[in-house]
Amino acid sequence: MTLTPAALRQQFATDFQRPTYHFLPPSNWMNDPNGFIQWQGQYHLFYQYNPFGATWGNMHWGHAVSRDLIHWEDLPIALAPTPGGPDETGCFSGCAVDNNGVPTVIYTGARGEKYDLQTQCVATSHDNLLTWEKYPGNPVLSEVPAIAGQQENFRDPFVWREGDSWYMVLASEIRGQGGVIFLYRSADLLSWDYLHPLQTGELHRDGYVWECPNFFPIGDKWVLIVSAHTGSATGTVFYFVGDYHDHHFTPIREGVLDYATLYAPLTTLDSAGRRLLFGWLRESRGDAEMRRAGWSGAQSIPRVLTLDDQNRLLMTPVAELGNQRRAHHRWEAVTLNGEIDPGVKGWALDIQSVCQLQAAGVVNIGLACSADGHERTDVIYEAATQQLIVRTTTYATGDIKTTASREITHALDAGEPLRLRLLLDGSVLEIIANDRTSLSHRLYPKDASCDGLRLAGSNATLQTLDIWEMASIWG
């Protein structure tokens, strides 16, 4: 018997580690967001999906639709590999555009047991994005520029309109040198001319291959986002901000969009003029645990991207998330001195805090704490070292990591308070500091009783601390 998406979701009702207000499929594995587009007032999200299990493989495009970016309706699979076709071992990542009223996706087809023959394919929909017809002439682009010259890393088209032409960026690798983003032009989305490399990376700093580029304007600047694959389980998402003239890009600023857990993000522009970003929030547990759970991967809460006056990329979770807020707890002017239990519990929380720190100030927000406070995830900021730290301490066994810790530099401007936004949702934790430093994280406490909070610190005052308990988006 085939279960409905709702029944599949219901099966996981007691899994406290499964997010309830972030998007994820009814079951099984999901990775990159794909084909994100607003169409006739509805947001369509496609995603890398394995319908046959909770680990990576058999890449299809899953599909969901939403009116508010928060509540989603599951739709049938949009793209599946075609035996004997250029996507026979996988429909990899890509984007969607409006081609004069025809919804069109451009994606990477993978062939070969090792997915090492990658070419670019096109599909169109004539029933409001529900079903998709692959272009019979696929692949529309298979020739790799000579400076890369290998077909195993040649993927993830991102397409936009400029004047009378379509432009596309594609990610690849120059062996021994690092990641590269190639720029192409087309009149019809079917025949593509290679122009030149838009940007190249440095192997030791930026990873060996780049994936999932996005290139778009914000104001008079252009932003390039790349996901840098390092060959291990982790990668980093970088951004470059710069000037784009005559189809050449000159970065004037670069930064890290997220330090590990959020990967392969995809953006779109909506009718309100917002540049919206979804990112895949990877698991940090092994295959056996994912299979046991029956699901893997979540999407971030979509973020609105803007630039500040220093051309730093700012990321704000969409305001629509506010509709999921329920019970509200608020504190003002809390001087931190030792550890306190604020008496709030929960697995689905939206936390916002503004904190003033002295030179030696430390603030520590403990989440998912066991009653004895031993098992927990701490979000810590140390003013003296400008370190933002997330540290999970668990006593669980199996292939779940028993401790995970990450420290990154988050510099505050002169006189600027620390502003933290924490979105805790089961095993997902999105951490955004001052709208510009993103440190997403995953945590897998031993049982549902680890749902407490702790506040600690010294030489610091929480000017405000707001905590909202969040309602599930699945009803």
Q: Are 387 and 379 in contact (CB under 8 A)?
A: no
Q: CB of residue 145 vs ligand DQQ: minimum separation in angstroms?
A: 17
103-142: contacts with ligand DQQ (CB under 6 A): 108
Q: CB of residue 237 vs ligand DQQ: minimum separation in angstroms?
A: 10
Nearer of residues 211 and 378 to ligand DQQ, judged by Cβ: 211
Q: Pattern of binders to ligand DQQ over 4-43, x per CB under 6 A?
A: ---------------------------xx-----------
* Residue reference for tokens 């030792």: 338
CA distance 197 to 472: 44
Enumerate the active-site residues. 32
45-64: contacts with ligand DQQ (CB under 6 A): 48, 59
Q: CB of residue 25 vs ligand DQQ: minimum separation in angstroms?
A: 14
Identity of the residue numbered 418: L
CA distance 85 to 372: 57
Which of 87, 156, 283, 435 is close enough to bind ligand DQQ by CB under 6 A? 156
Nearer of residues 91 and 223 to ligand DQQ, judged by Cβ: 91
Nearer of residues 259 and 263 to ligand DQQ, judged by Cβ: 263
Under the binding rule (CB under 6 A), the answer on residue 155 touching ligand DQQ is yes
Provide the CB-side half-sphere exposure for 59 (13 A, CA): 24
CA distance 241 to 196: 19
90-109: contacts with ligand DQQ (CB under 6 A): 92-93, 108
Nearest Cα to Cα of residue 68 among 267, 272, 215: 272
Q: CB of residue 61 vs ligand DQQ: minimum separation in angstroms?
A: 10
Largest CA distance in the chain: 67
CA distance 123 to 106: 7
Q: CB of residue 31 vs ligand DQQ: minimum separation in angstroms?
A: 5
Nearer of residues 212 and 453 to ligand DQQ, judged by Cβ: 212
Under the binding rule (CB under 6 A), the answer on residue 298 touching ligand DQQ is no
User: Which stretches of 127-247 are assigned E, i.e. beta strand?
Assistant: 133-134, 154-162, 165-174, 178-186, 192-200, 209-218, 221-229, 235-245
**Alpha carbon 248 to its chain's center:** 27
- Binding residues with ligand DQQ: total (CB under 6 A): 13
Nearer of residues 91 and 368 to ligand DQQ, judged by Cβ: 91
**Alpha carbon 39 to its chain's center:** 21
Nearer of residues 226 and 433 to ligand DQQ, judged by Cβ: 226
Under the binding rule (CB under 6 A), the answer on residue 282 touching ligand DQQ is no
Other CB atoms within a 10 A radius of the CB of residue 319 amount to: 10
Q: Pattern of binders to ligand DQQ over 185-224, x per CB under 6 A?
A: --------------------------xx------------
Q: Is the peptide bond before 103 cis (omega within 30 degrees of 0)?
A: no
Q: CB of residue 102 vs ligand DQQ: minimum separation in angstroms?
A: 23
Q: Which residues, in sequence order, are bridge partners of residue 382?
A: 362, 387
Nearer of residues 207 and 302 to ligand DQQ, judged by Cβ: 207
Provide the CB-side half-sphere exposure for 422 (13 A, CA): 34
Nearest Cα to Cα of residue 225 among 442, 438, 441: 438
Helix (H) or strand (E) holding 475: none
Q: Are 451 and 337 in contact (CB under 8 A)?
A: no
Enter the tokens of residue 98.
């409006």
Q: Pattern of binders to ligand DQQ over 63-92, x per CB under 6 A?
A: -----------------------------x
Q: CB of residue 285 vs ligand DQQ: minimum separation in angstroms?
A: 17
Q: Pattern of binders to ligand DQQ over 234-273, x per CB under 6 A?
A: -----------------------------xx---------
Nearer of residues 22 and 60 to ligand DQQ, judged by Cβ: 60
Nearest Cα to Cα of residue 370 among 306, 309, 299, 443: 443
Q: Contact residues for ligand DQQ (CB under 6 A)?
A: 31-32, 48, 59, 92-93, 108, 155-156, 211-212, 263-264
